Structure 1
Amino acid sequence: MWNQFRQAEATGPVRLTGKQVEALAGQVYRNLVRQHEEEPGSSASWDGPISAAEDLVEGSSKAQERQFGEEADLLLQKAGLTVDAGSRRRLLDAMARAALEALICLQRRAEGDYSPDRNAERFPELVLPASEKVPASPIAKVTLSDLFDLWKADHLLAGGPEKTARDFRQKLDSLTEFLGHEDAQRITPKQIADWAEHLRHEKGLSDSTVSNKYLAAVKRVFTVGKKRFRIADNPAADVTVEVKKAVKTRSTGFTDEEAKAILSAALKAPNGLGRMAEDNKRAIRWGPWLCAYSGARITEMMQLRKQDVETHKGIPCLRITPEAGSVKSGEQRLVPIHPHLVEMGFLDFVNSRPEGYLFFKLQEGDVPKTRAEHVGQKITGWVRNVVGITDERVQPNHAWRHRLKTEARRLSIERWVVDAIQGHADGSASAGYGEVPVEPLYEAIKRLPRYEV
C-alpha cells in the first residue's frame, strides 16, 4: 500500500482514457451477471431494480458515489491506479450504465433467454501503459465488514429489502464476536464449523436456524467476496449442519374448532377488548377473518390501505403490494374478497375509514412494515391469551395459510390458483410469463366454505 502512495506522490493521479473507463466498468457488468444468472427469478422481479438503476444513470454524481464509490475504489486498487477527480466521475457514470445493462441482461435470463451475451463483448480488456502501472503492493487486509458491504451493495441494487441486510449484519457480528476479530483472510473452515457448534450448543439455536440463517448468510457474503477476488477461498463453503426433519404431531393449520373459536371471538363487541387502542380492536375484528378467507400473511393484511381495496372486472379485491409495506415475494397480487366478508360489512368498514392505512396510523418516521408487524403481534397475543389457542405447535395467524392450503386440496382447486392467491412462487420457469387473471381466483375463493360461527 505504501508503495502505491509513494508512486502517487511521484507521478500524481493519472487520467483514464475512455477505453480504460469502460474496461473497468465491464468488471461491474460481468460480476453482477455472474452472481445472479444461474437463478435469476421472475422477469417482473427485475422491474424495480432496473427502474432504480435508470435513476442512477440519470442521477447526480453524489448518488452514484453512494452506490458505486466503494466498488470503484476496489477496482482502482486492484488495477494499481490513482486517478484524478474527472476520471473518477467518468468511472462512476460508466459503472452506473454497466449495472443497468447487467440488470437488463438478467431480466432476459429470467425470461429464459440464455443466448450469447453480445453486450458483454463491448467492454474491452484493461490495458495500462507502463508509465501508469504501479508496483504491486502487499495484499490489503480484508474484513468481514468489507465483504458485507460488497454483498449489501449488490443486494440493494437488485431490489433486496433492508431487513435482510440487517439480518445478515447480525449474523456476521455473531461470527466476529466468536472469533475475536474480523480478518476474513484468517478465517478457516474449522473455525466456521466451531462457530456453528457454538451456536447450537452454547446459544441453544436450532439446527435449522444455524443452517438456514447463520451459515446461509455467511456463505453468501463469502461467495461475493470470492467472486470479486477479495478473498481466495470461501471458508464456509463446505460447512454444513444436518437439519433433521421435524416430527409432526398435529396439523400446522387451525383445526375446525380452533378456527371457529378465533373467528367467533373476533365478532364480540369491541368494548370486550378492554383498554386496547381502537386501531388494534379493528385489526382483531377483521384480521383473522381476512386471513381465514385469503390465506394471506398477517402483515400483508395489516398493511392494507384504503386504496388497496378495489373492484377489478366487477370483483371486489385486495391489492397486496410492496408499495404498502412488505411483500415476501416482492410482487403485487390481487386477492378476490370472499362474498361472506362483503356480507359481513367489510367493504362498508373500508368506506368508513379515512385515506391511508386501515389498521394503524402512520406517524412521521414510522416504517409501515414494522407498524403492520406490531399490529399482527397484538393479534397473536389475543389469540394466545384471550381466545386460548396455546398449543405451541401451531402459529397464530400463519396457521391460516396452512389451513387454506388444506381446504383448497380438499376441494381439488388447482395448485397454481392457490399459489396465486397466497403469493407462493412455484419455482417453474413458466411462472414468470403472463399475468394471473382474477376470474379463476374469484371462482376458487367462492368455493371456500363459509365459517358459520
Structure 2
Amino acid sequence: MTLNMPSPVKDPKSGIYYIRVRVPADLTSSFGRAEVSKSLRTRETALAKERFAAEYAAIQRRWRALRAAPEPLPLKRIVSLAGRVYQRLMESLDNEPGESVIWQQVSRLNKEAAGNERALEQWYGPIVDEILLEEGIAVDQTSRWRLIVEAQRAWEQATEQMQRRSEGDFSPDPMANRFPEWQPESTPSTPSPGLTLSDLFQRWKKEHLANGKSENTVKDFAQKLDTLKDYLGHEDVERISPREISEWTEYLRHEKALTAKTVGGKYLAAVKTVFQVARSKFLIENDPAKEVSITIPRRVKSRSSGFTEIEAKKILSAADKVFELPSNMAHHNKLACRWVPWICAYTGARAGEITQLRKEDFSVVNGIPQLAITPEAGSVKAGLYRNVPVHPHLQEIGLLDFIRDAKNGYLFHIGGATKAELGKRSGNARDKIAIWVRDTAGITDERIQPNHAWRHRFRTLGLNADIAPEYLGAIQGHAGRTAGESYGEYTTETLFREICKIPRVAFN
C-alpha cells in the first residue's frame, strides 16, 4: 500500500498555495475542527514546498502535544518558555512602541491581574496554551499554572521596557538575559543545506582574483548579492526562481528608485556573472538569472557629454586659484583639484586613473616626458597599462616641476597599506574633485559628469583635430575591438605627435 504524503494545494482562482491537512480522528474533538487550512502566501512552487514543510512540522508538534501524557516541567524550562511571551511583545513593537499613557494603563491592569487567578487565566491562559502547542509539550496543571504566573511576570517586564521606549529610551533591557534560551528536549535532524549564494559568490571571487582582476569589483558584487539575499529572505540557490530574480529587479527600480541602467548594468549584471561562473563550473544545473532582462530606455540627450569651452575654462581657471582661496580642504585634495582637471583635459584619462598617479609613474623617453597609467598604482579599466605623453601646455604651466619636487609615492593622496585601501583613497580624491567642480568651480549642469566629461571633451577635440580613432584609443586606454587590435604598440614619439594636435586652452 502506497501512502500519499501531503503537499501544498494551489487555489485554482488566485494561484496561491495552501496547506490543507485533515486533523486525526482521535484529535478532532480536542482540536476543535476536522481540517487545518492556511495560506502559504506564495505562488512559487519551490517556496510553497519549503513553507509547507515548516507548517506541517508545526502541526505535527501540536498533534504530539495533544496526544502526550501531561508531565511536570522544571522551573528553568518554564522561565525559558515565559521568555517567549517577553520576546513576542518586544519584537512586535520594536520600532514604534506607541504612547506612554497606553503603557501606563497596561501596567496598571497587568499588576491588578497578578493577584487574581481568574484574570491571570483569562489574560495568559490562551497565550500559554498556544506556546505549549507550538512546542508540542503536554504539561500537568501545576506546571501550566506556574507558566501562567511566569508569563505575567514576563509581560510586566516587557511593559516596563515599552514604557521606557515610548518615552524615547531605547537602551537594552538589563534583565532581558534572565530568560534561559529555550532548548527542545530533542532536536530533529535537519538535512544539510544546499548551495547558497555565498557559496557561488566565493567561487566567482576565487576565479576573479586568480585572473588578476580588481578587488573593487569583489566589493561591488558582494553588495549587489546582499541586496538579493535581503529581498529573498534566504540564499538557498535551489529555491531561487527566474520570476523571483525578475521581481527583485522590479523592486530595485520601483521601491529603491534605481534607474533601469543601474539595475540592469550593475545589479543584474553582477548576479548573472556569478551564476554564469557557477554554471560553467557545473555547480548548478539551472541558471535562474539567464533569461531575466531589463529594457533600458534610450537616454534623452539634450547636450554634449563633454565640457564646453566655457565650462572647461571655468574649471581650469578655478584650478589655478585653488591655493589662493581660503579653504579647509586637506593639502593633498587641493593638489588634486589643482592638477587632475588639467591632466584630464590634455590626456582624456579617467579621473580615478590620475588620482592614483605616483611620482615614479613619471619618466622621460627620448626627451619626451610621459605618465604611466598602470595597474600597479591602482585600478585601471581592462587591467591594461599605457604611457601617455605630457602635452606641451602641461609642461609650460609647471606640471613637471610639481612632479619633480613632490615626495616619492602617491601625488594626490597619502597612500595606504593594502591595494583595497589605496583604491579607496584614490576614489575619495576623485570624488572630492567632483564636489569641488560643482560647488567651487560652479559647473552645476546635472546632464554632465563633473569628472568624466573631460574624457568626452578630449575625444571630441581629437576627432576634430584629425587624430585617428586608434591613436585616441591608445591615449585614452580604450580596449581594442578585436584580438588583432591588441597586437603592437605605438611609440612615445607617435603618441606625442598626435597629442600635440589637441588645441590649447586659451584664457585670452
Q: TM-score range by the shorter chain?
A: 0.5 to 0.7
2-structure distance, mates of 1:274, 1:230: 55
Contact 1:254–1:403 at 8 Å: present in 2 too?
Answer: yes
Distance 1:451 1:303, change over 3 A: same
Q: CA deviation at 1:335?
A: 0.2
Say if 2:462 is the partner of 1:375. no
Counterpart of 2:292 in structure 1 is 239
Say if 2:222 is the partner of 1:222. no
Greater Rg by CA: 2
- Provide TM-score, normalisation by structure 2: 0.60
Gaps of 5+ in 2: 1-190
Counterpart of 1:17 in structure 2 is none
Contact 2:416–2:425 at 8 Å: present in 1 too?
Answer: no
Counterpart of 1:392 in structure 2 is 446
Counterpart of 1:263 in structure 2 is 316
Counterpart of 1:204 in structure 2 is 257
Contact 2:416–2:422 at 8 Å: present in 1 too?
Answer: no
Name the SS of the counterpart of 2:299 in structure 1: coil
State which of 370, 395, 402 in structure 2 corresponds to 1:317. 370
Counterpart of 2:466 in structure 1 is 412
Counterpart of 2:493 in structure 1 is 439
Name the SS of the counterpart of 1:381 in structure 2: helix
Distance 1:233 1:267, change over 3 A: same
Residues 9-158 of structure 1 mapped to structure 2, 5 A cutoff:
141-158=194-211
Name the SS of the counterpart of 2:485 in structure 1: helix
Q: CA deviation at 1:235?
A: 0.8
Q: CA deviation at 1:268?
A: 1.6
Counterpart of 2:327 in structure 1 is 274
Counterpart of 2:383 in structure 1 is 330
> Which moved further from structure 2: 208-217 or 267-276?
267-276
Ranked by relative contact order (alpha carbons within 8 Å, sequence separation 6 or more), the top structure is 1
Q: CA deviation at 1:186?
A: 1.1
Contact 1:273–1:281 at 8 Å: present in 2 too?
Answer: no
Q: CA deviation at 1:222?
A: 1.3
In structure 2, give the amino acid aligned to 1:215.
Answer: L
Counterpart of 1:166 in structure 2 is 219
State which of 477, 485, 506 in structure 2 corresponds to 1:423. 477
Instruction: For residues 234-257 of structure 1, give each alpha carbon's deviation from its aligned partner in whole angstroms, at most 9, with x where no partner exists.
Output: 011101110111000011100010
Counterpart of 2:78 in structure 1 is none
- What RMSD over aligned residues (CA atoms) do the two structures have, in Å? 1.5
Name the SS of the counterpart of 1:387 in structure 2: coil
| Number of residue-to-residue matches in the alignment | 316
2-structure distance, mates of 1:407, 1:247: 23
In structure 1, give the amino acid aligned to 2:257.
Answer: G
Q: CA deviation at 1:329?
A: 2.2
Counterpart of 1:188 in structure 2 is 241
Contact 1:280–1:375 at 8 Å: present in 2 too?
Answer: yes
2-structure distance, mates of 1:402, 1:256: 13
Counterpart of 2:177 in structure 1 is none
Q: CA deviation at 1:229?
A: 2.3
Q: CA deviation at 1:175?
A: 1.0
Instruction: For residues 117-157 of structure 1, give each alpha carbon's deviation from its aligned partner in whole angstroms, at most 9, with x where no partner exists.
Output: xxxxxxxxxxxxxxxxxxxxx99611111111111111111
Contact 2:358–2:410 at 8 Å: present in 1 too?
Answer: yes
2-structure distance, mates of 1:427, 1:440: 21
Name the SS of the counterpart of 1:449 in structure 2: coil
Distance 1:412 1:139, change over 3 A: farther
Q: CA deviation at 1:323?
A: 0.9
Instruction: For residues 150-198 of structure 1, give each alpha carbon's deviation from its aligned partner in whole angstroms, at most 9, with x where no partner exists.
Output: 1111111111111111111111111111111111011111111111111
1-structure distance, mates of 2:395, 2:236: 59
Name the SS of the counterpart of 2:212 in structure 1: coil
Instruction: For residues 65-107 of structure 1, give each alpha carbon's deviation from its aligned partner in whole angstroms, at most 9, with x where no partner exists.
Output: xxxxxxxxxxxxxxxxxxxxxxxxxxxxxxxxxxxxxxxxxxx
User: Which ranges of 4 or more aligned residues in structure 1 deviate by more than 4 Å?
Assistant: 363-366
Distance 1:208 1:234, change over 3 A: same
1-structure distance, mates of 2:382, 2:278: 26
In structure 1, give the amino acid aligned to 2:198.
Answer: S
Name the SS of the counterpart of 1:272 in structure 2: coil
2-structure distance, mates of 1:414, 1:208: 30
In structure 2, give the amino acid aligned to 1:394.
Answer: I
Instruction: For residues 242-296 of structure 1, give each alpha carbon's deviation from its aligned partner in whole angstroms, at most 9, with x where no partner exists.
Output: 0111000011100010001111111126130422222222211111110100011
Counterpart of 2:360 in structure 1 is 307
2-structure distance, mates of 1:237, 1:209: 18
Q: CA deviation at 1:436?
A: 2.5
Contact 2:322–2:338 at 8 Å: present in 1 too?
Answer: no
Gaps of 5+ in 1: 1-137
Q: CA deviation at 1:204?
A: 0.7
2-structure distance, mates of 1:350, 1:193: 51
Name the SS of the counterpart of 2:347 in structure 1: coil
Task: Tell me the percent identity.
Answer: 51
- Provide TM-score, normalisation by structure 1: 0.68
Name the SS of the counterpart of 1:205 in structure 2: coil
Q: CA deviation at 1:426?
A: 2.7
